[in-house]
C-alpha cells in the first residue's frame, strides 16, 4: 500500500517545508526588496503584484485540468513536479538577482515573477493533488496532514525570520540562492518517494464541463466557501499584527515576532492533537470544533492591552488555527472521493485548482478590508491614533475575523458529507 511506510509519509510531508519556505519569503520580502532596496516606484510594483495575484489564481484551475488529463508512465502529477522543480528553484533565485535599472528593472520583475508564478503553481498544485491519491484512509490522511503542516510551519518560520539575518550578512542574492537550494533539496526528497497509480481513470470532460461538475457538487461549494472565509482570516493575522502592536499596544516591532511566534509555537504540537481528534470525531464535526476554537480566540483582542496578554491570546489562536491547517486538505480530499463515485474519474487537479483560485481572493479581500478600515477610521501613519482608529485596528483582529469564522461555521455545518473512516475506490 502506498503511504504505508513512515518514511514515505515524512518524505511527502517535507515538500510542504519547501512550499512554505519560498512562498513566505516571497510574500514577506519581495515588495520591500524591489521598492525600498532597489528603488522601483511603489505604484508599479503594486500593479505588478495585483497582476501576479490574478495570474496565480487563473493558473490554478487551468493546470489542475491539464494535470487530470495527463497520461504518462510516471502518472499524472509526478512529471510536472519532476521537470518543474529545478526551473522553479532557478526562477526563485533569479528574483533576488535583479537586472537593469528604472523601467528595465521593473519589466525584469514582471517577467521573472510571471515565470516564477507559472512554475510555482505547476509544482505546488500537483504536489497537493497527490495527497488524496497517495493516502486513502482517514487515519493516513490525518497523520500525513499533521506532519505536512508541522513542517510547513517550520518552513514559514524560516521564510519570515531568517532573511534579515542572511541578507544583512551575505546579500539578497545569496539569500535567495540558499533558500532555493534548501527548497529544491526537500522537493527532490518528496518527488523521489512519490508514486501514484498509473491506471487511474483520466479526466475526459472538457474544461467547461469539468467546471460545471465541480460547481454542482454541493459538498465542494459548502467547503470552498468555508475555506475562503478561513483563508481570509489567515491573511488578516500577519497583516494586522504589526498595526496592533504599534498603535494599540504601543510596543516595539519586536513584539510582532513575539505574537507570531506564540501562534506558531502553539500550532506545531496542536497539529498532532487535531490529527488524533479527527479520526475519532470525523471531518465535519472536527472542523466545526476547530472553527469554534479559532473564532473564540479572536475575542480577547478586543480588549487586551499588554504584550504579555496579547501573546497569551495569540497562543490560543494557534490551537484552533492548527486544526484548520490539518483539516482543510482532508475535507477537500473527502469531496474528491465522493466526486469519483459520481463521475467515475479522479479529478484532484481541478478541485485543488478551483480551491486555489477561490481562496486566493481571500488575500485580496484582506487588503481591501485593511485599506477601508484604516481610511475610514482616521488612521495616520506614525502618529498617536484616535480612539476610533484604535478600535478599527482592534476590530480587524477580533470582530471582523470572528464574523468571518462564524459564517465559516455555518457552511461547515451545511457540509453534506457525513461519516468517519472513508477510503476512495482506487486501490492503491
Class of domain 1-194: mainly alpha
Q: What is the pTM of this model?
A: 0.86
Instruction: Give phi and psi for 203, each to the nearest 5.
Output: -65, 130
pLDDT higher than threshold 90 for residue 298: yes
* DSSP symbol at 377: T
Answer left, alpha or beta for residue 419, where phi above 0 means left and psi between -120 and 50 means alpha.
Answer: left
Which residues face 423 on adjacent strands?
137
pLDDT score, position 401: 95
pLDDT in tens, 11-69: 999 999 999 999 988 887 887 788 878 888 878 887 888 788 888 888 888 888 888 88
Q: Nearest 5 degrees, angle CA 180-CA 181-CA 187?
A: 85
CA dihedral angle for residue 409, residue 376, residue 26, residue 101, rounded to 10 degrees: 160
| Model pLDDT, residue 274 | 94
Q: What is the homologous superfamily of the domain 207-415 according to CATH?
A: MFS general substrate transporter like domains (1.20.1250.20)
Residue 103 has pLDDT above 50, yes or no: yes
Residue pair 231/118 in contact (Cβ under 8 Å)? The answer is: no
The DSSP 8-state label assigned to residue 246 in this structure reads: I
Q: Which sign does the torsion angle of CA 162, 163, 165, 169 carry?
A: positive
User: For the chain, which residues make up each domain, given as ranges?
Assistant: 1-194, 207-415
pLDDT band for position 198 (50/70/90)? Answer: low
What is the per-residue pLDDT for 203? 61
C-alpha cell recorded at residue 340: 469519483
3-state secondary structure of 423: strand
How do residues 357-382 score in pLDDT, each as one tens digit?
898 888 778 878 888 888 888 888 77
Specify the 3-state DSSP secondary structure of 162.
coil
Q: Say how far apart CA 44 and CA 47 lie, in whole Å.
A: 5
Q: What is the mean pLDDT of residues 174-199?
A: 88
Higher pLDDT, 281 or 427: 281
Is the model more confident about 116 or about 3? 116
Please, what is the average pLDDT of the chain?
87
Tell me how crowded residue 375 is: count the other CB atoms within 10 A of its CB.
10
Locate 397 and state its grid cell: 483582529
CA atoms of 360 and 23, how far apart (whole Å): 13
- Distances 343 to 2, 8, 272, 339, 349 between C-alpha atoms, Å: 24, 29, 34, 6, 14
User: What grid cell was written down for 121?
Assistant: 503553481
1 bridge partner residues = none
Backbone angles phi, psi at 423, to 5 degrees: -140, 140
Three-class SS state of 350 = helix
Q: Which residue has cell 516591532?
A: 253
In this predicted structure, the answer to whether residue 424 has a pLDDT above a threshold of 70 is: no
Q: Is residue 428 over pLDDT 50?
A: no
Cell triple for 125: 498544485
Tell me the DSSP string of 91-157: HHHHHTS--SSHHHHHHHHHHHHHHHHHHHHHHHHHHHHHHHHH--BHHHHHHHHHHHHHHHHHHHH
Band of pLDDT at residue 167, cut at 50, 70 and 90: confident
pLDDT tier, 91 (very low <50, low <70, confident <90, very high otherwise): very high
Q: What pLDDT is attached to residue 423?
A: 42
In this prediction, residue 65 carries a pLDDT of 87
Q: Encode pLDDT of 313-352 as tens digits.
A: 999 999 999 999 999 999 999 999 888 888 778 888 889 9
Which backbone phi and psi does 173 adopt, to 5 degrees? -60, -55
Amino acid at each position: 500500500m502506498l503511504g504505508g511506510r513512515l518514511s514515505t509519509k515524512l518524505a511527502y510531508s517535507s515538500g510542504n517545508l519547501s512550499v512554505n519556505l519560498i512562498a513566505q519569503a516571497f510574500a514577506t520580502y519581495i515588495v520591500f526588496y524591489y521598492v525600498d532596496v532597489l528603488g522601483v516606484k511603489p505604484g508599479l510594483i503594486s500593479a505588478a503584484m495585483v497582476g501576479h495575484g490574478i495570474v496565480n489564481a487563473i493558473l490554478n484551475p487551468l493546470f489542475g485540468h491539464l494535470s487530470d488529463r495527463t497520461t504518462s508512465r510516471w502518472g499524472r502529477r509526478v512529471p510536472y513536479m519532476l521537470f518543474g522543480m529545478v526551473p522553479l528553484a532557478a526562477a526563485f533565485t533569479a528574483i533576488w538577482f535583479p537586472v537593469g535599472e528604472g523601467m528595465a528593472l521593473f519589466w525584469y520583475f514582471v517577467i521573472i515573477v510571471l515565470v516564477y508564478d507559472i512554475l510555482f503553481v505547476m509544482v505546488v498544485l500537483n504536489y497537493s493533488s497527490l495527497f488524496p491519491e497517495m493516502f486513502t484512509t482517514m487515519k493516513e490522511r490525518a497523520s500525513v496532514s499533521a506532519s505536512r503542516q508541522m513542517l510547513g510551519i517550520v518552513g514559514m518560520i524560516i521564510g519570515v525570520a531568517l532573511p534579515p539575518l542572511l541578507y544583512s550578512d551575505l546579500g539578497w542574492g545569496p539569500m535567495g540562492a540558499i533558500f532555493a537550494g534548501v527548497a529544491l533539496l526537500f522537493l527532490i526528497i518528496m518527488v523521489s518517494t512519490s508514486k501514484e497509480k498509473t491506471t487511474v481513470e483520466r479526466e475526459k470532460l472538457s474544461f467547461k464541463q469539468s467546471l460545471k461538475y465541480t460547481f454542482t457538487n454541493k459538498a465542494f461549494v459548502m467547503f470552498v466557501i468555508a475555506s475562503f472565509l478561513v483563508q481570509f482570516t489567515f491573511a488578516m493575522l500577519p497583516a494586522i499584527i504589526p498595526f496592533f502592536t504599534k498603535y494599540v499596544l504601543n510596543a516595539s516591532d519586536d513584539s510582532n515576532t513575539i505574537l507570531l511566534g506564540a501562534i506558531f509555537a502553539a500550532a506545531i504540537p496542536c497539529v498532532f492533537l487535531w490529527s488524533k481528534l479527527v479520526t475519532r470525531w470525523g471531518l465535519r464535526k472536527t472542523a466545526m470544533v476547530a472553527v469554534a476554537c479559532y473564532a473564540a480566540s479572536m475575542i480577547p483582542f478586543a480588549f487586551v492591552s499588554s504584550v504579555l496578554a496579547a501573546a497569551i491570546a495569540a497562543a490560543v489562536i494557534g490551537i484552533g488555527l492548527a486544526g484548520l491547517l490539518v483539516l482543510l486538505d482532508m475535507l477537500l480530499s473527502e469531496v474528491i472521493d465522493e466526486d469519483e463515485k459520481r463521475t467515475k474519474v479522479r479529478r484532484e487537479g481541478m478541485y485543488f485548482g478551483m480551491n486555489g483560485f477561490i481562496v486566493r481572493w481571500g488575500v485580496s479581500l484582506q487588503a481591501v478590508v485593511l485599506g477601508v478600515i484604516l481610511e475610514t477610521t482616521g488612521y495616520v501613519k506614525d502618529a498617536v491614533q484616535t480612539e476610533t482608529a484604535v478600535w478599527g485596528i482592534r476590530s480587524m483582529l477580533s470582530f471582523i475575523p470572528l464574523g468571518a469564522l462564524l459564517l465559516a461555521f455555518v457552511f461547515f455545518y451545511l457540509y453534506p458529507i457525513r461519516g468517519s473512516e472513508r477510503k476512495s475506490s482506487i486501490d492503491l
